[in-house]
Amino acid sequence: MTVAPLIEVEDLRIDLDDGANHIAAVEGVSFRIDRGETFGLVGESGCGKSITALALIGLLRRPLSVAAGAIRFEGREIQRLSAAEQRALRGNRIAMIFQEPMTALNPVSPVGRQIAEMFVLHKGKGWREANQLAVEALANVRVPAPERRVKDYPHQLSGGMRQRVMIAIALACDPDLLIADEPTTALDVTVQAEIIELMRNLCAERGTAILMISHDLGLVANVCRRVGVMYAGRIVEERRSDDIFSACAHPYTQGLVDSLPRLGSRAALGRSRLREIAGVVPAIADFPAGCRFNPRCAQATEVCRTTAPETTWLGAGGLVRCHHHA
Amino acid sequence: MKLGTSAIIGGLLFALAIFVGLFAPWLAHTDPVMGANLMNAEEPPSWIWWFGTDAQGRDIYSRVVHGARISLTVGIVSQLVNSIIGVTLGLTAGYWGGWWDDVVNGLTNLMLAIPSLIFALAIMAVLGPGLTSLLIALGLTNWSFTCRIARASTLSLKSQGYVQAARVLGYGDLRIMITQLLPNMVGPIIVIGTLGMGGAVLAEASLSFLGLGIRPPYPSWGSMLSEARDQITTAPWLSVFPGLAIFLTVLGLNLLGDGLRDVLDPQSRSRRT
pLDDT in tens, A57-81: 888 887 888 888 889 988 888 888 8
Q: Which residues in chain B have Cβ-Cβ distances shorter than 8 Å to A118?
A: 169
Closest in B162, B168, B175 to A96, CB measured: B168
Beta-carbon separation of B184 and A169 below 8 A: no
Residue B271 in this model has a pLDDT that exceeds 70? no
Distance between CA atoms of residues B150 and B144, nearest Å: 10
For residue B270, the distance in angstroms to the closest alpha carbon of chain A comes to 8
Does residue B19 lie within any of the structural domains? no
Residue B253 in this model has a pLDDT that exceeds 80? yes
Mean pLDDT, rounded, of chain B? 84
pLDDT in tens, A215-251: 888 888 888 989 999 988 888 888 888 888 877 788 8
B260 half-sphere exposure, CB direction, 13 A CA radius: 19
DSSP 8-state symbol, B44:
P
Contact criterion met (CB below 8 Å) for A57 and A79: no
Between B40 and A129, the more confident residue is A129
Q: Which residues in chain A have Cβ-Cβ distances shorter than 8 Å to B186?
A: 108
Does residue B229 lie within any of the structural domains? yes
Q: How confident is the model at residue A1 (pLDDT cuts 50, 70, 90)?
A: very low
Residue B144 in this model has a pLDDT that exceeds 60? yes
Q: Give the Cβ contact number of residue A276 at 10 Å.
A: 9
Q: How far is CA A18 from the centre of its chain?
A: 26
Does residue B20 lie within any of the structural domains? no
Does residue B36 lie within any of the structural domains? no
Which residues, 6+ apart, have CB-to-CB distance to B204 below 8 Å?
Answer: B70, B71, B74, B75, B78, B134, B138, B213, B214, B220, B221, B222
- Determine the structural domain holding residue B242 and report its residue range: 57-272
Number of residues assigned to chain A: 326
Once rounded to an integer, what is the mean pLDDT over residues A165-180? 91
Domain count across chain B? 1
Highest-scoring range by mean pLDDT, A23-32, A205-214, A244-253? A205-214
Q: How confident is the model at residue B268 (pLDDT cuts 50, 70, 90)?
A: low
Cα B189 to Cα A168, B73, B198: the distances in Å are: 32, 20, 14
Closest by alpha carbon to B89, among B152, B149, B158, B147? B147
For residue A264, the distance in angstroms to the closest alpha carbon of chain B comes to 40
Once rounded to an integer, what is the mean pLDDT over residues A132-147? 90
Beta-carbon separation of A121 and B266 below 8 A: no
Report the predicted TM-score, pTM, of the whole model to 2 decimal places.
Answer: 0.79
Does residue B120 lie within any of the structural domains? yes
Closest in A92, A103, A155 to B170, CB measured: A92
Q: Which residues in chain B have Cβ-Cβ distances shorter than 8 Å to A107?
A: 162, 184, 266-267
Q: Which residues in chain A have Cβ-Cβ distances shorter than 8 Å to B172?
A: 87
Mean pLDDT, rounded, of chain A? 85
For residue B2, the distance in angstroms to the closest alpha carbon of chain A comes to 17
Between B269 and B273, the more confident residue is B269
pLDDT of residue A272: 66
Once rounded to an integer, what is the mean pLDDT over residues A171-191? 86
Residue B266 in this model has a pLDDT that exceeds 60? no
Closest in A91, A108, A121 to B168, CB measured: A91
Residue A320 in this model has a pLDDT that exceeds 80? yes
Once rounded to an integer, what is the mean pLDDT over residues A3-14? 86
CB crowding A150-180: b at 16 or more within 10 Å, else e? bebbbeebebbbbbbbbbbbbbbbebbbbbb
Does residue B194 lie within any of the structural domains? yes
Does residue B28 lie within any of the structural domains? no
Q: Domain containing B88 — which CATH number? A: 1.10.3720.10
pLDDT of residue B3: 67
Does residue B17 lie within any of the structural domains? no
Beta-carbon separation of A90 and B266 below 8 A: no
pLDDT of residue B272: 43
Q: How confident is the model at residue B125 (pLDDT cuts 50, 70, 90)?
A: confident
What is the percent of chain A with per-residue pLDDT over 70, rounded to a whole number? Answer: 96
Q: Is A95 helix (H, G, I), strand (E, B) or coil?
A: strand
Tell me the torsion sign for CA atoms A247, A248, A250, A253. negative
What is the percent of chain A with per-residue pLDDT over 90, rounded to a whole number? Answer: 15
Does an H or E element contain B181, and which? none
pLDDT of residue A269: 60
Residue B262 in this model has a pLDDT that exceeds 80? no
pLDDT of residue B259: 83
Distance between CA atoms of residues A25 and A34, nearest Å: 26
